[in-house]
Chains A and B, each alone.
Chain A
Amino acid sequence: MSGNLKLNTPSAGSVTLSTADTASNVTVTIPAATDTATLNAQTQTLTNKTLVASGSNTVEATSGPTSTQLAGMRNKIINGAMLVWQRGTSGFTTNNNYSADRWFLSSGGSITIGARSTDAPTTYKYSLFIVASAYPQVNQRIESANCNDLSGGTVIVSFWARNPTAGTLTLSTQLYYASASDNFETITSIATVSNTITTSWAQYTATFTSLPSGVTNGIQLSIFGNSGSTTAFDITGVQLEKGATATPFENRLYGTEFDLCRRYCEVYSGSSEADVIPQGMAQTDVSNRPETMLQYYLKRAAPTITVASGTAIIYQTMSNTGVGITGYAGALVGTGLRGSNLFFNCSSGVTQATLSAVGYIIFSGSNSITVSAEL
C-alpha cells in the first residue's frame, strides 16, 4: 500500500502517538533515506523525549530559533571572520608566514599583497586579501586535540569570497592531514573541491566525506586561487563543521575569538616608553645580560619567542636609569606553556648578580615580542 497518512488537528490542538505501555519507547519510522521529517513554522514541542538518529543517520539542525545563530562552537576554524590581527594588518608578503591570527599565507610564486581589507560582505567587518604571482593560498591548521571526532565522518567548509579583478576565478578548497600528531612537516591531501568565484561576494561550500583516520593528527585547510598567473581574492566567514549541511556562520564574541587565538600566539608591541612589557620583572645572571620573566596565556606547546628588534628595548634599572639593549640572547633557562625567561645583552650598566639592578623593560621604539605556538 502506498500513499499519505495525514493526522490533522484543529488550531492549537495536538497529535499524540502513544502506546498502552508508557514504559516502552514509541518509535516513529521514516522509511526511505530520501524522506525528511519537517517541523512547521509553529512551535513544536518534544516532551520528555530525545530525538535519536539510528544507524548511520544523523540529526541535523540547519536553523535555530532565529535562523541566524545555532548553538556555539560548531566552527573548528578560529578567526574565520578575520577579526583578530595581532601581527599587524598589512605587509604579509612572505610565503608560509602568519598574517591574520591563525591564518598563514603561501603561493606558487611570490605574494605581492597580504592584508586586511574592509571590503567584506554584509554582516562581516573584514576580509583577508591576498595577491600572488601564482596560486595565492590561505591556510589554517587545526590541532589534533580538536580533530578527534572527525575520523570517518563528513565535514563541510563554507566561506565568502570574491575575485577583485574582472572575470571569474577557480577557487579550490583542499584538506590535508598531518603525518604525526600536530606535526605538519609532511602532510597528505584528502581531497580538493573547486568553486568558481566572481567579482561579487558570495558564499561557497566544499564537502569532504569519509575522512581518513589520519585527520586525528590535525587538519590543514587550504583555499587557493587555481591559476598560475597573477591572481587575487578576498575571503572571510570561513567555517569548517561536522556534517554535510553548512549552517550559518558562527559569530563568536570578539573576546572569545581573541582568547582562542592566544592559545597559539600573543604579540606584545609598543612604540614609546609608555609601553611596558606586561608582567615583566628582571634580574641579571651575568654582567650586562639582564633577564626578564614573561608570563603569557596558556599555549598549545612551549612557544617560540621572537624579538623583532632588540635595540628598541630599554631596561629601566632600580636607580631609574635606562640601559639600552644591544641584542636578544634567547630563553636560556627554559620556556614553558605559561611563561618564559628572556635574556638580553647590554654593552654596560647592568651588574652581575645584582638582583635589584633592573626594574623592568620597556619599548623605546617600534618593536614587538611575539610568543608563538602556531602549528
Chain B
Amino acid sequence: MYYQLCPPAKGNIENKAVLRINDDGSVSSIPFDPANTDYQKFKIDVAGGTPLEDPDGNVMTQEQVDAFLRTIP
C-alpha cells in the first residue's frame, strides 16, 4: 500500500485529495477532511515513512512529505 497525490483538475491548482493504492489493486480517493479517519491515518502513515508519490509517480523525499503535510489541514 502506498499513497499518491492526485493531479490537479483543469482550472484547479490545489490538491483536494490523495490516492491510496491498496494491496488488492483497488484505488481509494481520500479527501483532505480532518474528520475522515483514512485522512487521519494517511498523515500518520506518510509522516512515519509510508511512500508518498507526486502526481507523476515520483516518490517524494521525507523532507518533501513533511513540507507537504504543513500545507494541508
Contact = CB atoms under 8 A, between A and B. Distances in A.
Given A304-B31, A306-B22, A332 B37 contact: no
B52 to A, nearest CB: 14
Interface in A278-333: 285-286, 291, 300-310, 327-333
B28 A306 contact: yes
Interface size class of B (residues with CB under 8 A): 20 to 34
B12 A332 contact: yes
Interface stretch (A33-41, A179-187, A235-243): A179-187
A286 B11 CA distance: 10
A304 B28 contact: yes
A372 to B, nearest CB: 8
B7 interface: yes
A301 B34 CA distance: 9
A328 B29 contact: yes
A375 interface: yes
Contacts of A334: 16-17, 31
A185 B36 contact: no
Interface string A332-362: 1111000011110000000001000000000
B36 A306 contact: no
A183 B40 CA distance: 8
A363 to B, nearest CB: 14
A277 interface: no
Contacts of A307: 26-28
A185 B40 contact: yes
A130 B70 CA distance: 41
A211 interface: no
A298 B14 CA distance: 25
A374 interface: yes
Contact of B17 (A335, A353, A374): A335
Interface in B2-18: 6-12, 16-18
Contacts of A286: 10
A358 B27 CA distance: 22
A310 B26 CA distance: 8
Contacts of A342: 29
B24 to A, nearest CB: 8
Contacts of A332: 6-9, 12, 16-17
A373 interface: yes
B19 A185 contact: no
**Interface hub of A303, A309, A332, A334 (most chain B Cβ within 10 A):** A332
A286 B8 CA distance: 11
Nearest to B5: A330
Contact of A308 (B7, B10, B26, B41): B26
Contacts of A302: 31, 33, 35-36
B27 A310 contact: yes
B63 to A, nearest CB: 24
B25 interface: yes
Contacts of B53: none
A374 to B, nearest CB: 7
19 contacts: A185-B41, A285-B10, A302-B31, A302-B36, A303-B31, A303-B36, A304-B29, A304-B38, A304-B39, A306-B29, A308-B26, A329-B7, A330-B6, A330-B18, A330-B29, A341-B9, A372-B38, A373-B36, A375-B37
Interface of A: 182-185, 285-286, 291, 300-310, 327-335, 340-343, 353, 372-375
